[in-house]
Amino acid sequence: MGTVTQNNIVRNERADFLPLQGTDYVEFYVGNAKQAAHFYKTAFGFQSLAYAGPETGVKDRASYAVRQNKLTFVFTTPLRSQNEVADHIYKHGDGVKILALKVEDAFDAWEQTTTRGGKSYMEPVTLKDESGEVVISGIHTYGETVHLFIERKSYTGVFMPGYRKWDSLYNPVQTGLLYVDHCVGNVGWNQMNPWVRFYEEVMGFRNILTFDDTDISTEYSALMSKVMSNGNGFVKFPINEPAEGKKKSQIEEYLDYYDGEGCQHVALATENIVQTVTDLQSRGIEFLKVPTSYYDELIERVGHIDEDLAPLKELGILVDRDEEGYLLQIFTKPIEDRPTLFFEIIQRKGAKSFGKGNFKALFEAIEREQDLRGNL
């Protein structure tokens, strides 16, 4: 019985104090939200969802929410200078401001995290309209990035109070993007471990994978990375920091151009990467390319895969295997003029890892682009 009791104590100590139901939405602060929303509809196949702005009682900004399956993106732009959205885009350019997490209890999420040292961004507020109520609270994370906790169990409206339904005559077809697989943060020199501790202590995450500079270095540059996961694995945040190399780390280039720490990439899941990437490419999304020699020994390295090699090679899709299965992935070029945010498209076939076997080929491809910008 003693053993059972002990196990119970251990289990209780490890009980998830911040149960997360997944990513609720990702909000980008951008120079022109109307055009950004159009771009994400056109290029990525998102659908119009909701709008907030002066017409809905919001005076200082306009926001467009778009959706594809379980993915919700919000694009927000300032209507005047001298507000926090304007300051954010002046400093960082277009980028991710909010990684919003869906919770059962936004008041409890705020209490649990702020009592553990999280810096409050927003005390719990209840927003109401005729469709019910949404409770929102939030804490700061790296750079000027924020985690909002969204409780929407008593809400039946299209997005949240303050927004109205956005009907559009322009509805490009979807591209098979399903949900956020993970969001990666770039932090400064020697800042990876402090942020790992933040996710452990303040948010109850675990470090599930670590890559040091011997895993992630090319001839020229290096980085280190630790993957943080919440209790149920629905939310994963890898954290990168630059490492010393012969030349400038891709993480340093990001930090220079974003003017600080921030979200480097958001990985979007699909169940048919060949079809999704074919669609995205035909709509103008540009992807990083690895040399075709990458495919010469691919099957020897990863073993049997269900997909034909030819379309993978044609599109530049990468493959890696771990103990549990394999994954297919590809990375876009930066999605704005600053070399900052990009997207990953990922299809998991059992693998729960992040494509370590592709790092070298991938980072050499990133460095070729970095070199073209004169930043290597």
- Which range in 102-110, 187-195, 212-220, 342-350 contacts Fe ion by CB under 5 A? 342-350
CB of 2 to Fe ion, least distance (A): 44
* Residue whose CB is less far from Fe ion, 253 or 344: 344
* Residue whose CB is less far from Fe ion, 112 or 217: 217
- Which range in 156-164, 165-173, 277-285, 337-345 contacts Fe ion by CB under 5 A? 337-345
Q: What is the CA radius of gyration of the chain?
A: 21
Q: Which of 220, 188, 182, 208 is nearest to 360 (CA)?
A: 220
β-strands 177-186, 318-322 pairing: unpaired
Interacting residues of 35 by C-beta distance below 8 A, sequence separation 6+: none
Copy the structure tokens of residue 331.
């990375």
CB of 268 to Fe ion, least distance (A): 10
CB of 267 to Fe ion, least distance (A): 4
Q: How far apart are CA 5 and CA 312, in angstroms?
A: 52
Expressed in angstroms, the distance from the first to the final Cα of the chain is: 62
CB of 352 to Fe ion, least distance (A): 13
3-state helix, strand, coil in the chain (%, to 5): 30, 35, 35
* Residue whose CB is less far from Fe ion, 222 or 346: 346
CB of 80 to Fe ion, least distance (A): 36
- Which range in 65-73, 157-165, 216-224, 260-268 contacts Fe ion by CB under 5 A? 260-268
CB of 101 to Fe ion, least distance (A): 18
* Residue whose CB is less far from Fe ion, 34 or 356: 356
CB of 91 to Fe ion, least distance (A): 25
Return the residues of window 127-186 that contact Fe ion according to CB under 5 A.
none
Q: Which of 103, 100, 90, 91 is nearest to 141 (CA)?
A: 100
- Letters for 215-234 (x = contact with Fe ion by CB under 5 A, - = none) are --------------------
* Residue whose CB is less far from Fe ion, 113 or 332: 332
14, with CB counted inside 10 A (0-12, 13-18, 19+), is: exposed
DSSP code at position 56: G
60, with CB counted inside 10 A (0-12, 13-18, 19+), is: middle
CB atoms within 10 A of CB 147: 23
CB of 341 to Fe ion, least distance (A): 12
- Which range in 62-70, 242-250, 262-270, 272-280 contacts Fe ion by CB under 5 A? 262-270
- Letters for 297-336 (x = contact with Fe ion by CB under 5 A, - = none) are ----------------------------------------
Interacting residues of 355 by C-beta distance below 8 A, sequence separation 6+: 318, 320, 327, 329, 362
Question: How far, in Å, are 25, 139, 210, 277 from residue 104 at the CA level?
Answer: 15, 17, 30, 35
> Contacts with Fe ion: how many residues (CB under 5 A)?
2
Q: How far apart are CA 376 and CA 362, in angstroms?
A: 15
CB of 265 to Fe ion, least distance (A): 6
| 267 binds Fe ion, rule: CB under 5 A | yes
* Residue whose CB is less far from Fe ion, 163 or 331: 331
DSSP-based three-state secondary structure for 291: coil
* Residue whose CB is less far from Fe ion, 267 or 366: 267
| 344 binds Fe ion, rule: CB under 5 A | yes
The binding site for Fe ion (CB under 5 A) comprises 267, 344
